[in-house]
A and B are shown apart, each in its own frame.
Chain A
Amino acid sequence: EDQVTQSPEALRLQEGESSSLNCSYTVSGLRGLFWYRQDPGKGPEFLFTLYSAGEEKEKERLKATLTKKESFLHITAPKPEDSATYLCAVQAPLGYGQNFVFGPGTRLSVLP
């Protein structure tokens, strides 16, 4: 069974304190790994898609990287507005159905 886990479950940072969130997956034949941000009471907001090991993508203070078994979301000098739940999802190969498998998320709090 395809599995996606995320760690830590929750993370509290001081403003400016850089850190990383982890997403580990067991799906074989990965077609894509996605990072989303979800604010309370809202739907997830797309951040990045990564397709193959070694790929990196950046957006403002966020940088996502991908290996064969995990992805990291690095947050550099975070600000309070970066507080949210960060979700990762993997898309399995064709034939598994088109469903995405989401991880449980990491709840990030950035304190001023």
Chain B
Amino acid sequence: GAGVSQSPSNKVTEKGKDVELRCDPISGHTALYWYRQSLGQGLEFLIYFQGNSAPDKSGLPSDRFSAERTGGSVSTLTIQRTQQEDSAVYLCASSPRAGGPYEQYFGPGTRLTVT
């Protein structure tokens, strides 16, 4: 079946612009996670959704970052007034449901470059 998809695969933006990153989870998966991976670094947790609500936003680095999920499916991560330090690969993962432990299935990521 179809896996997790993310779009765009690459995004180059100028400092100060807003960007939106999209994640389509595996159908039927109710839990959705966003991570950030900087070059040569591990995965940094950003936020997770159970259905459309976000019980844990603890990883969002600043108020420039926000995320929403609609219809228990697609999620959008928005970064406002992008900074160069926002450059990274943004990974989305979905899981059958939260409260697991359930493995996560990852998308291919969106590579964001802020110039």
- A residues adjacent to B (C-beta < 8 A): 31-32, 34, 36, 41-46, 49, 51, 87, 89, 91, 94, 97-105
Q: Known contacts A31-B100, A32-B100, A49-B101; decide if A100 and B106 are in contact (CB<8 Å).
A: no
Q: Are B100 and A43 in contact (CB under 8 A)?
A: no
User: B23-52 vs A: 1/0 string, CB under 8 Å?
Assistant: 000000001010100000111010010100
The 5 A-B pairs of least Cβ separation, nearest first, read A32-B101, A43-B106, A97-B56, A102-B43, A104-B42
Q: Are B45 and A31 in contact (CB under 8 A)?
A: no
Task: Please name 5 pairs of A and B residues whose Cβ atoms are closer than 8 Å in the assembled complex, sorted by A.
Answer: A31-B101, A97-B48, A97-B55, A98-B98, A102-B43
Residue of A nearest to B58 (CB): A97
Q: Are A87 and B42 in contact (CB under 8 A)?
A: yes
Give the docked Cα–Cα distance between A82 and B105 (Å).
20
Q: Does B103 contact A (CB under 8 A)?
A: yes
Residue of A nearest to B31 (CB): A98
Q: Are B50 and A105 in contact (CB under 8 A)?
A: no
Could you say which residues of chain A place their CB within 8 Å of the CB of B48? 97-99
Q: Are A44 and B106 in contact (CB under 8 A)?
A: yes
Q: Known contacts A91-B100, A98-B98, A100-B33; decide if A43 and B107 are in contact (CB<8 Å).
A: yes
Output the residue of B58, B93, B101 with the most chain A CB within 10 A: B101
Output the residue of A46, A91, A98, A104 with the most chain B CB within 10 A: A98
Give the docked Cα–Cα distance between A91 and B101 (Å).
7
Could you say which residues of chain B place their CB within 8 Å of the CB of A45? 106
Q: Are B103 and A101 in contact (CB under 8 A)?
A: no
Identify B45's interface contact among A41, A43, A101, CB under 8 A.
Answer: A101
Identify B91's interface contact among A31, A43, A91, CB under 8 A.
Answer: A43
Give the docked Cα–Cα distance between A60 and B112 (Å).
35
A49-B103, A99-B48, A100-B33 given. 15 additional CB < 8 A pairs?
Answer: A32-B100, A32-B102, A34-B101, A34-B104, A41-B108, A43-B4, A43-B93, A44-B106, A46-B103, A49-B101, A91-B101, A97-B48, A97-B56, A99-B33, A105-B42
Q: Does B8 contact A (CB under 8 A)?
A: no
